[in-house]
Structure formats: structure tokens, C-alpha cells
Amino acid sequence: MKPEIDKILETTAMQMMTQIAPQLPPGYTQNSTGLLTMLLNFCAQEYENGAEMRAAENRELRNLLAELEGSVEDVRLRVKLGAVMGERDASLKISDLNYSNAELKKLLIDVQTYLETHNDDQAKLARREIWAVLKASAKQRLLKLPGM
């Protein structure tokens, strides 16, 4: 499809902002319309980046969790961590990527909680590795405000 969907969303947002919003009475309706244009811009960003961002994040999480297996003594947790590298995203649909992402994050919460109860050097290093991945993920998921 040309133009691309993100371009259509951005253009629609711009039309709402410059042509429709000024015709509305000041107040809630006009402000809400401004917010809606921003949300369309966010949708445009997600259209272009959403699948790649999630696939990359899932890859990073799998690599991290597989590495963390060596830092964990709890047998049940080790088994879960050991199984992660054999898993794949079912498809590149956002819903499938989100499903995998949620499963991986549940396991990450478990292993991070476990490591916080240990204070040896290996656990400290593992916690730093987790935060490095969480920081990178949080940065990737930031949204750009139009015009900023």
C-alpha cells in the first residue's frame, strides 16, 4: 500500500490539528481533538516500528534469560530458563509477539525477584544485566511527541 499507513495516519492527524480542531469551540472538545491527533501519531510510530521493536525485545529477553540460568540454583526456575531458548514467536503478528513478550516478562519478574534475595557477585552481575535490558527496552518504547 502506497502511501504507507504511517504516512496516512500522520497526514490525517495533521488535518485534524490544522483544519478541524480550530473550528471547534475551545475547551474539552478542542483539547480532546488535539489529544486524538497525538494518538494517531503514536499509532503511526507503532505501525512502522511495532513489530521490529517487539521481535527484537523478545530476542533480547530470551538471550538474557538463557544467560541467567547459570546464576540460579532454584531447580524449577532453572528448568523454565533452560527452555526459553527453544521457544520462538508464533508469528510476526503484534498479538503473537505480545503474547511471547508477556510470557518472557513474567519469567523475568520471577528471576529478578529471586536474584534480589541473593547478594553474591554473580547475582549482582545478573541483576545489572537485567537492568541493562530493562533500560534499553524502556528507551525503545518511549513515544515521540509530534514536533519534538
Partner 1 sequence: MSDDITPRLAAYMAKMLDIPAVDVDGLSRISGGASRETYRFAARYYRDGRAHDRRLILRRDPPASLIDTDRSAEFRAYKAFHKLGVPVPEPIVLELDNGPLDRPFFIMEEIQNCTVASVIQPDPYGALAPKIGHQFFSTLGKIAKADPDKIGLGDFEGARTDSWKHEVERWEREIDEDEREPQPIARAAIRWLKRNPPQPAQKVSVVHGDYRSGNFLYDAEGSIRAILDWEMAHIGDPLEDLGWALDPLWSHHNPERPAGLVSREHAIAFWEQASGLKADPRALFWWEIFASLKGAAIWISAAREYGDGRNTDPVNLFSGWYCLAFHNKVLADRLAGVGA
Q: Which of 20, 39, 79, 85 binds partner 1 (CB under 8 A)?
A: 39
End-to-end distance of the chain based on CA atoms, in angstroms?
Answer: 28
**What's phi and psi for 119, nearest 5 deg?**
-125, 15
Instruction: Select the residue interacting with partner 1 from 18, 32, 91, 122 (CB under 8 A).
Output: 32
Which of these segments, 51-59, 66-74, 81-89, 95-103, binds partner 1 (CB under 8 A)? 95-103
Nearest to 58 by CA among 128, 137, 138: 137
Single out the segment in contact with partner 1 by CB under 8 A; choices: 1-9, 13-21, 86-94, 96-104: 96-104
Length of the chain in residues, anyone?
A: 148
Q: Which of 17, 21, 108, 126 binds partner 1 (CB under 8 A)?
A: 108
Could you tell me which of 56, 59, 70, 77 has the C-alpha nearest to residue 126?
70
Give 1 or 142: the residue with its C-beta nearer to partner 1: 142
Distances (CA, A) of 145 to 19, 95, 125, 142: 19, 25, 35, 10
Total number of residues that touch partner 1 (CB under 8 A): 36
Of the candidate spans 47-55, 63-71, 82-90, 99-107, the one that interacts with partner 1 by CB under 8 A turns out to be 99-107
